[in-house]
Structure 1
């Protein structure tokens, strides 16, 4: 009970950090970062101040891996719909969310990987008729020899002979029991599973997905939690066979034989069923994370159906504090297929693009967007924002960006429907080549199934709107004062009328000769 209270205290502290968006002390999931992924590296899904820190309530390594895989998964709105209903229902059950997470934090350890004992559960054990006979002969014979020796009817040396005979039969089950001891999960793992199952067995769910996930635990015979109780009891005996109190009893009464028979009998009846539970509970960890996210900090926005493109009203960034985040309306469709986004430095172009991308990820996860309304068609997301050099691979940041753009072109030209976000396109080359390359790329993407946003400082590209019907200009502005620059972070129709790099450099101490 003390462990549960301490876990709840930790959860309350973590919740406060998530609500305030102070995420530094939460697990970052940096091991899941992937520069080659279509969008995860650019959208702060993992790492410091990331979506993973807001989402993650898992306790096991497999749970974290499964959550990360769902965050990076290809977009599939059909799969997202049942997830949304399930996470929404769980968000109305805070006691279930608290109980599941607190049990995991209090007891779960990664002492043994699940694959080892799952494989053991699926293995067939061989038992001979001889073992069955001597499992009952052992206790009867041991008691008889001890009593007769005590009464002086037989010499005491025969007790030693009895022990030596028993070693032969005990040797038959030594390796199988040793393998079981090494394979079975720790008592903390079993305790975690047992308590998790007890909660899930007693809860009534309405959504079809939660019912489907709960069904394997609602067996007609013994409850799933009872099966783990039995396995825990057997595992305790198996692990304590080297106990100083157990060894003399085992040598006299051959108790290992009876323990082996009980173990293989349980395994034969329930092993293959129980073997599936760890993977199923891993999926429950992910669902608890989604439900807890909706309960603690969820966007509460409405997901709408969009035939082509993307539509969002009052869309905000989930990683920004709600009191700080500035919401924007946005639409992209067949009539405005490509958005040229211009604007002053620090005016919010990149944050806005990430806002759209992260909300797309949330919807694909079955979560509510941070918007009044938000929806998109069946496209895949692709980004190119953080392109860094790699000395180990002799790759410059410009070449890294070109590689990303080539992958995008290949996917679009193969007929795939893509929504792309390209930040400060071709920034690694000179102005003339950058403008020429940007125009060529826009022409190449025009009238394909690709659509997206390209941010740029090259105002010359704004002229493309007059030459291409599907290209539209949008921008973010700044207001320059004597010693300050103000930003409203609101997207506006049309190209940016002024830039602020000169003033920013002045404010940073660079003196220009008039």
Structure 2
């Protein structure tokens, strides 16, 4: 008896094996997400317990502060009226105990703030796994509209594919709390990239995924500085702004003069007390009062802008220390390079910017060391913000204009480092973006690493490798337990994917699944596929188009304008690819030829059926002639029969299943599985009936 099997039996066996393998991958993905969720929940429980303990301690210390202050007031009152040494000792002891309690209480409150920020960070991580979009949008670092700057192409792409905004890919990926981090990540998700850069990003992301504790520490510190008045964007603006003191030069010598005179007056006051010289006592006392009144008036009337500068540049010593630690986190970046690369240029550049010393070998080149120097200025500038040190700050300000002295040191730092601050924070934004994407790589270890095809062929072979192939493609914004996966292949050049199917069957979701995963690949992230191979591409879409009554633009004209922009984009890339050199050479010396990936959903619905078929065919012909690859969806089955489309299109479809329920009424279900061929069904009239608008 022969052991051979028929082709159909082999195919069936392969399909069963594939289904079992698919189910295994789904279980592994769900298990890894559940493991991450459990890890976050356990850590949150520990933090909540610590917060309860710190809150109880804070309450006790607050009560103790009130009690000690009352004793201090009573001691001062009795010591003044009686002059008895006992009450003097009570007043001094209460003052010392009060100051110690204040210092301890502030330390406890600092710990509470740190734990609260860590708790918010962990909750955001957990809510991403749950796809809890409402909570993510309400988070302070989830409100990003003011921070992100996109051009028109990026904006159209972001709107069509849900890349930015509520319930978007950005909300899923982003743990960025600073403006540079949010802006960089948004640009990575919406901008094309050469394969070598994408590989560099991905290699760094995979390495950072294992650094769980340092990443959590980074997210927490970034949240702290990103939500403060001294956020990076404000800090950069201050560093590049004109100096405040040079136009008020007299303040520095005046501060020095009043400090010297005050010291002399205090010495004279002590001498007068010892010699019982009342005239000298009165003179010294009134001189000190005069100096204090003048200096405090100057501080009140002239130094308002200085307080604003301090709130941005040195809001607190802790925030400056946070910057120094964030910069130092560049040490987490890998020192090795992706396979077949001589170096990881992105990681090396970030490390060099944030960690290395200058060419001359001095400490001025290191961002971390520069922030360490700024921390000493912040320590002096933060005296007035602490109840424990305010009693020290007040006489320093009254008799020596302390704020002017601090500002002088601050502006000396500004002069030295202003030209480097922009570069530091751009590098910090890239580091924060990599660490954000790394969280996704850690939580979804079974998502695939994208494989980039270097499409550098020319002549007759150009475009043969331009195939976007996704095995078990899933929509990353859907919850893991409801996600349906499909194998999708788009290309090579000269062809397109025509997706047919009835309403609600999954056509638009498939388009967005492609676009979202390409965006992930460009950002260096893992992709929601079991395998993904893609050439160097740029994306253009027409999915969500709206009219603009303020400009007199109808829906149909808005669609035409969008399609014209897509065709123009394809032609630009085609013309660029035919130039020598086509693009910037890669590390290997060859050039990558980008082509357009277009994703079009039910286009040109604003005209009659026959004209629509002609117009759609013409637009698609222009795109294919320009070397673009892409996919278009339609529920117009006559469009799929167009001879020109039959020549270049690979047609697939989604379908619905209609079954009667227990009452005999029709029930429509969708499996969201993509199949070859034209859709055999339509459902518009059935849907009409199901909502009560059918014929009686």
Q: Partner of 1:2 in structure 2?
A: 112
Normalized per residue, which structure has more helix?
2
Alpha-carbon distance, 1:175 to partner: 9.1
Assess if the C-alpha contact under 8 Å between 2:497 and 2:651 holds in 1. yes
3-state SS of the aligned residue for 2:597? strand
Question: Could you tell me which residue of structure 1 aligns to residue 328 of structure 2?
Answer: 201
Asked if 1:15 is matched to 2:125, the reply is: yes
Equivalences for 1:290-309 in 2 at 5 Å?
Answer: 290-297=437-444, 300-306=447-453, 307=455, 308-309=466-467
* Match runs of 1:183-332 below 5 Å: 183-185=309-311, 191-198=318-325, 201=328, 203-207=331-335, 208=344, 209-218=346-355, 219=357, 221=363, 223-224=369-370, 226-237=372-383, 246-252=393-399, 259=406, 262-263=409-410, 267=414, 277-297=424-444, 300-306=447-453, 307=455, 308-332=466-490
Task: Give the alignment partner of residue 197 of structure 2, picking from 64, 79, 89.
Answer: 79
Secondary structure of the residue that 1:382 maps to in structure 2?
strand
The worse-fitting range, judged by mean Cα deviation, of 94-103 and 360-369 is 94-103
CA contact (8 A) 2:491 2:630 kept: no
Give 2:671's match in structure 1, choosing from 482, 485, 488: 488
Residue 156 of structure 1 aligns with which residue? 281
Cα-to-partner distance string for 1:132-181 (whole Å, 9 max, x where unaligned): 97487346424433233333456234323466579889999999965443
Aligned to 1:42, the other structure's residue is in SS state helix
Bigger drift between 161-170 and 501-510 goes to 161-170
The size of the alignment, in residue pairs, is: 513
- Which of residues 157, 166, 175 in structure 2 aligns to 1:48? 166
Closer, same or farther: CA 177–286 of 1 in aligned 2, 3 Å: farther
Where do 5+ consecutive residues of structure 2 fail to align?
Answer: 1-110, 336-343, 456-465, 575-594, 661-665
Give the 5 Å matches for 1:100-139: 100-105=218-223, 108-112=226-230, 114=232, 117-121=235-239, 123=242, 126=246, 134=257, 137-138=260-261
Normalised to the residue count of structure 2, the TM-score between the two structures is 0.65
Q: How much does 1:43 deviate?
A: 0.6
Partner Cα separation in structure 2 for residue 157 and residue 146 of structure 1: 8
Match among 214, 239, 264 for residue 141 of structure 1: 264
Aligned counterpart, 2:210: 92
Deviation at 1:199, TM superposition (A): 6.0
The 1-side partners of 2:326 and 2:493 are apart by: 52
Distance in structure 2 (CA, Å) of the matches to 1:192 and 1:251: 27
Determine the C-alpha separation between the residues in 2 that align with 1:275 and 1:446.
43
Aligned in 2, Cα 1:313/1:70: closer, same or farther, shift over 3 Å? same
* Corresponding residue to 1:505 among 688, 691, 696: 688
CA distance in 2, matches of 1:188, 1:169: 23
Q: Which residue of 2 aligns with 1:370?
A: 528
Higher relative contact order structure (alpha carbons within 8 Å, sequence separation ≥ 6): 1
- Name the CA distance, whole Å, in 1 between partners of 2:295 and 2:694: 92
- State the structure with more CA Rg: 2
Counterpart in the other structure of 1:358? 516
The residue matched to 2:161 in structure 1 has which SS?
A: coil
- SS at the partner of 1:185? helix
Q: How far does residue 407 in structure 1 lie from its aligned partner after superposition?
A: 1.0
The answer for unaligned runs of 5 or more in structure 1 is none
Matches within 5 A, 1:452-467: 452-464=630-642
Q: Secondary structure at the match of 2:508?
A: helix
- Alignment partner of 1:411 is 2:569: yes
Q: Counterparts of 1:194 and 1:236 in 2: how far apart (Å)?
A: 13
CA RMSD of superposed structures (Å): 3.7
Summarize the Cα distance change of 1:87–1:224 in structure 2 as closer, same or farther, 3 Å threshold.
Answer: farther
1:55 to partner: Cα distance: 1.5
Structure 1 window deviating more from structure 2 (112-121 vs 91-100): it is 112-121
Distance 1:192 1:293, change over 3 A: farther
CA distance in structure 2 between the aligned counterparts of 1:299 and 1:284, rounded to whole angstroms: 24
Q: Normalising to structure 1: TM-score of the pair?
A: 0.85
Q: Which moved more, 1:63-72 or 1:306-315?
A: 63-72
Query: Deviations 1:474-505 (Å, cap 9, x if unpaired)?
Result: 22222333322333322222222222223332
In structure 2, C-alpha distance between the alignment counterparts of 1:400 and 1:215, rounded to whole Å:
47
Distance 1:146 1:260, change over 3 A: farther
1:318 CA displacement? 0.2
Deviations 1:163-202, CA, capped at 9 Å, x for gaps? 6579889999999965443212356675244235336537
Other-structure match for 1:400: 558
| CA distance, structure 1, for counterparts of residue 610 and residue 528 of structure 2 | 39
